[in-house]
Amino acid sequence: MTTLSIVGLNHASASVELRERFAFSEDRQLQVLTELNELVDEVVLLATCNRAEIIYSTENTDMHKEVLDYIQKLGHLSEIDFEHHFYVQHGKDALTHLCRVASGLDSMVMGETQILGQCKDAFERSFANDYAGKNFQQLYQETLRTAKLVRSETQLGEGHLSVSALAVELAKNIFERLDDKHVLLLGAGEMCELAGEYFKAVNVASITVVNRTLENGQELAGRLNCNFAEWSKLTAQLKKSDIVLCSTGSDKAIIDRAMVKEAMHRRELPMFFIDIAVPRDIDPDVNSLSDVYLYNIDDLKELSEKNMDIRQERASMAEYIIKEKITLFERQRNEDIGSVIVSLREKAHEIKDNELNQLFKNVDWKDDDRQQVERSVELIVNKILHTPISSLRKGLEEEEHDHKRKNLMDLFKDFFNI
C-alpha cells in the first residue's frame, strides 16, 4: 500500500477557535503546500470549515516528525494542544480514514455530499501544481470509487434530523414544487426563524410572519427579509397560505378546525400544518379534515429518531463497504506478486522438464534411478528459486510506493524473462 499518512483535525477533535487557525486563503494554501512539498514526496491539503488535513507520502520516515513540527508551527500550537486535538494516521488506517472522509461518514452532518467535491478539489489542485503525482493518482481514484460506491449503495445523506429540515422535507413530500407556495410563520421565536431560513433556502414563493407582539414579528420579518401581517389578519393569511408553521407561546390552540375548514373551501391544493409549539397551537382535530396534513412536535421528533436509526444502519453498511474495498485493494496488489512468482516457477519447471526428457530419451534408465534424478533436480530448482523469490517478497514488503514496487517487479520479470 502507498505510504500514505494523514495529519489533521476536525469538528470532533478541535474547537472552532483552533480550526480557524487552519482556515487558509487559496494563496496561503498553495504556499503551505509548497513548503510541505519540500519535506515530503507528495502532499494534498484538505481544508474545509470543519476540517484541515494534510495527506502526504514520504519515503523517509524521519520526515514524519518534520511534518508534525511544521504543522505545530503553522498553527502556533503548544505540544499539548497538538497531541490533544490532532490525529495522525499511516498506511491502511490513513486510507480507511480518507475513504470515510470522502464518503461523508466523518462529516459533522453525516452523509453530506459537499465533502466529496472538496476532496476532489484538494487532490486536483495538488496534481495541477505537481505537489502530488503518480503515487497519489491510484489512491485518489480508489478513494473516489469507494466514496461513490458508498453513496450509491447506502444513500447515507438521506433523511433529515432537525425539526426545521424535517418540516421542509415533509412539505416536499406533499407539494410537487415549493417555488409557488406561500408559507405562514406563526410566532417570532428561534424555531420560526430557523424554519423560515430553511424555507427561504428552497425558494418558496413568499413567507409571511404573523405575531402577537408587533415589534418581534416585524423584527423577524426584517431578518428573514419577508412579509409581516398583523395578528388580526390571521384568518385572511391562512386562506392565502399553503404551509403554516406555528411556534408561539400561547397556552391554548390558536387555529381551530372551523378556521381551517374555511381556509380549505374550494381549494385545489392541500394544506400543510406544522405545529412545533408546546402547548400546541393547532387543534389536533384539524388533521381529520380532507386534504389537510398536520404534524406536531412529537411527530417530527419520531421522524427524526427514525431517520437517525436509518442513518446509523446505513453508516454501518458504509463502514463495511469501505473495509471490503480496502481488503480488495490489498488483495489485488498481492495477486500481482503471486502471478509473477507462479510464472517464474512455471518457467523454471518447464526448463527442468524439457532437460530431463532429453536426458531420459538418450539413456535407458531404471525407474528408481529416474525418480531419484527427478527428485534431485526438483530440489535444485526449488533451492535456486527460493533466494530470488524471497528477496522479491522482502523487497516488495519493504517498499510501499506503488511505482517502486512496479519497477521492482518489472526488473524481476526482465531478469528472468517472464
What residues act catalytically?
49
* Residue list 237-296, contact with another protein (CB under 8 A): 266, 268-270, 287, 290-291, 293, 295
Give 147 or 271: the residue with its C-beta nearer to another protein: 271
Rounded Cα distance, 139 and 97, in Å: 12
Instruction: Give me the least distance between CB of 299 and another protein, in Å please.
Output: 5
Instruction: Give me the least distance between CB of 290 and another protein, in Å please.
Output: 4
Instruction: Give me the least distance between CB of 175 and another protein, in Å please.
Output: 5
* Residue list 30-89, contact with another protein (CB under 8 A): none
Give 76 or 265: the residue with its C-beta nearer to another protein: 265
Contact 244, 273 (CB under 8 A): yes
The verdict on 24 binding another protein (CB under 8 A) reads no
Instruction: Give me the least distance between CB of 376 and another protein, in Å please.
Output: 59
Please give the grid coordinates belonging to residue 256.
381551530
Instruction: Give me the least distance between CB of 284 and another protein, in Å please.
Output: 12
Instruction: Give me the least distance between CB of 302 and another protein, in Å please.
Output: 7
Rounded Cα distance, 110 and 100, in Å: 10
How many residues bind another protein (CB under 8 A)? The answer is 17
The verdict on 174 binding another protein (CB under 8 A) reads yes
Give 37 or 162: the residue with its C-beta nearer to another protein: 162
Closest CA to 126 of 5, 47, 64, 33: 33
Give 173 or 417: the residue with its C-beta nearer to another protein: 173
Closest CA to 393 of 374, 377, 376, 412: 412
Per CB under 8 A, the list member of 173, 232, 358, 417 interacting with another protein is 173
Per CB under 8 A, the list member of 243, 245, 263, 303 interacting with another protein is 303
The verdict on 414 binding another protein (CB under 8 A) reads no
The verdict on 308 binding another protein (CB under 8 A) reads no
Per CB under 8 A, the list member of 17, 62, 176, 251 interacting with another protein is 176
Give 59 or 262: the residue with its C-beta nearer to another protein: 262
Give 306 or 323: the residue with its C-beta nearer to another protein: 306
Instruction: Give me the least distance between CB of 270 and another protein, in Å please.
Output: 6
Contact 328, 160 (CB under 8 A): no
Instruction: Give me the least distance between CB of 271 and another protein, in Å please.
Output: 12
Q: Which stretch binds another protein (CB under 8 A): 105-113, 173-181, 244-252, 333-341?
A: 173-181
Q: Which stretch binds another protein (CB under 8 A): 224-232, 254-262, 297-305, 360-368?
A: 297-305
Site string for another protein, 132-171 (x = CB under 8 A): ----------------------------------------
Rounded Cα distance, 418 and 404, in Å: 19
Three-class SS string for the chain? CCCCEEEEEECCCCCHHHHHCCCCCHHHHHHHHHHHHCCCCEEEEEECCCEEEEEEECCCCCHHHHHHHHHHHHCCCCHHHHHHHCEEEEHHHHHHHHHHHHHCCCCCCCCCCHHHHHHHHHHHHHHHCCCCCHHHHHHHHHHHHHHHHHHHHHCCCCCCCCHHHHHHHHHHHHCCCCCCCEEEEECCCHHHHHHHHHHHHCCCCEEEEECCCHHHHHHHHHHHCCEEECHHHHHHHHHHCCEEEECCCCCCCCECHHHHHHHHCCCCCCEEEEECCCCCCECHHHHHCCCEEEEEHHHHHHHHHHHHHHHHHHHHHHHHHHHHHHHHHHHHHHHHHHHHHHHHHHHHHHHHHHHHHHHHHHCCCCHHHHHHHHHHHHHHHHHHHHHHHHHHHHHHHHCCCHHHHHHHHHHHHHHHCC
Q: Which stretch binds another protein (CB under 8 A): 252-260, 298-306, 314-322, 407-415?
A: 298-306
* Residue list 384-413, contact with another protein (CB under 8 A): none
* Residues near another protein, by CB under 8 A: 172-176, 266, 268-270, 287, 290-291, 293, 295, 299, 302-303
